[in-house]
Amino acid sequence: MDEPVDFRNFARAMGTVLPYSPGDIIYRENDPPAHMYVILSGAVEITARGKLIETIHAGRALGIVSLLDGMPRSSTARVVEPSEVAMMNKQRFKYMVEEVPNVVWYIFGELGHRLRTTNAAL
């Protein structure tokens, strides 16, 4: 099986890098989608309807589904340790999908992981 590709360097170059402290909220349930995010370092807790779904770490992405379908956020992303996150708007995300080899496989992997993790949490 192919080794997963680490897109953190690309996300750092394409996105706006933001520092976060523990307790900071990246987005809340029902917020309108404007960006997707790649965790460059640290950890972020994903909750939905007050229930912990998972804690994600460096190299993982969040906020993809809402950016794809335009629907409000279905979860809240709260920082649990000092983190650095690359934020990309829809235009940059679209560019990444269209122009970067293998990024679609990264996104498919992230979406599959999120679906399985959410199902397990339910």
pLDDT in tens, 93-118: 888 888 877 777 778 777 777 777 77
Domains of the chain listed by start with CATH number: 8-121 (2.60.120.10)
| Contact (Cβ atoms closer than 8 angstroms) between residue 29 and residue 76 | yes
Q: How does pLDDT run across 71-89, given as a tens digit for each residue?
A: 999 999 999 999 999 999 9
- Tokens found for residue 112: 């599959």
At 1, the pLDDT band (50, 70, 90 cuts) reads very low
pLDDT at residue 35, rounded to an integer: 95
Angle between helices 90-99 and 103-121 (to 10 degrees): 120
User: Is pLDDT larger for residue 1 or for residue 120?
Assistant: 120
Phi, psi of 63 (to 5 degrees): 85, 10
pTM: 0.85
| Contact (Cβ atoms closer than 8 angstroms) between residue 73 and residue 63 | yes
> Using the 8-state DSSP alphabet, how is residue 6 labeled?
-
| Contact (Cβ atoms closer than 8 angstroms) between residue 118 and residue 53 | yes
Helices in the chain by DSSP H: which ranges? 8-14, 64-69, 90-99, 103-121
At 5, the pLDDT band (50, 70, 90 cuts) reads low
